[in-house]
Amino acid sequence: MTENTTTTERVAIVTGGSRGIGRETAGRLGRDGYAVVVTYSGSPAEADQAVKEVEQAGGRAIAVQADVADENAVKALFDRAEETFGGVDVVVHAAGIMPLSPLSDLDLDVFDQVIRTNLRGTFVVDQQAARRVRSGGAIINLSSSLTRLARPGYSAYAASKGGVEAITLILARELRGRDITVNAVAPGPTATAMFFDGKPQELVDRIAAEPPLERLGQPEDIAEIVHFLAGPARWINGQVIYANGGSAA
């Protein structure tokens, strides 16, 4: 893993960067020449592979383990990004968990874990981002189209992501005058390990057939939107972009 210091390239922190949408996003930013801090919670091997993919795409990268809901760990994450690459320009907060259960059956300890990781995690990461992202930068949170699709079994997850959207819209307005955009991307069903976990093929096929485009989203579909918000899309601010292939709300 590369650990040279520079102050000329744009630098991105991608939480949840070792898997799924986060990993694809890290690689896409690598193609744009970013230095990327791949943030992960559990698997060093997956994080190291994500780092290699960023480097192969043309960027530089390091992997840093952090609990996104722990304010000290997140502060240390931003410290590491600044020490290694000279600053932070883009924060993509893609880390999250998605246990499924009808509301009446969900263990409240699991609910608390969802809120801690998905909602508190967003607040903690965005708090550091608001303090430390440089002028001209972008903060991009990952929400979910489930806040609108209202699919049974997702009450805890959708509730946490509704909070993510509220944080996003308010923070965009709180950063008035800073030249920092704050947006959320709300994917629909996307072909990641988290989506496939525990679903029978019949259900996967039924969900894939719902949007007019008649397929699941792919991680690269979402990564392209993040790339746009991270760089060219300077006039998009304080928005939630529902990226679901046209699934009905």
Domains of the chain: 11-190+218-242 (3.40.50.720)
pLDDT attached to residue 1:
43
The CA distance from 33 to 27, in Å, is: 10
Confidence of residue 60 (pLDDT cuts 50, 70, 90): very high
Looking at 20-34, 57-71, 72-86, 205-219, which range is the least confident one?
205-219
With b meaning 16 or more CB within 10 Å and e meaning fewer, what string describes 80-102? bbbebbbbbbbbbbbbbbbbbbe
pLDDT exceeds 90 at position 6: no
CB burial class (10 A; 0-12, 13-18, 19+) of residue 150? exposed
pLDDT band at 162 (very low <50, low <70, confident <90, very high): very high
CA distances (Å), 83 to each of 6, 36, 49, 86, 244, in order?
A: 9, 13, 22, 6, 37
Catalytic residue (one of 34, 40, 154, 157): 157
- Quick one: pLDDT at residue 108? 98
* Region 158-163 average pLDDT: 98
Helix (H) or strand (E) holding 149, with range, is helix 146-149
Task: Note the pLDDT of residue 3.
Answer: 45
Top pLDDT among 65 and 43 is at: 65
Higher pLDDT, 248 or 164: 164
pLDDT value of position 249: 57
Q: In this predicted structure, what is the pLDDT of residue 228?
A: 97
Q: Summarize the confidence of residues 196-218 as an average pLDDT.
A: 89
pLDDT(150) > 60? yes
Residue 157 annotated in active site: yes
Burial of 110 (0-12, 13-18, 19+ CB in 10 A): middle
| pLDDT beyond 80 at 5 | no
Three-state DSSP state, 226: helix
pTM equals: 0.93
Mean pLDDT of the chain: 94
Place of tokens 């509301």: 103
pLDDT of residue 248: 66
Q: Which of 48-62, 122-136, 171-185, 196-210 has the weakest average pLDDT? A: 196-210
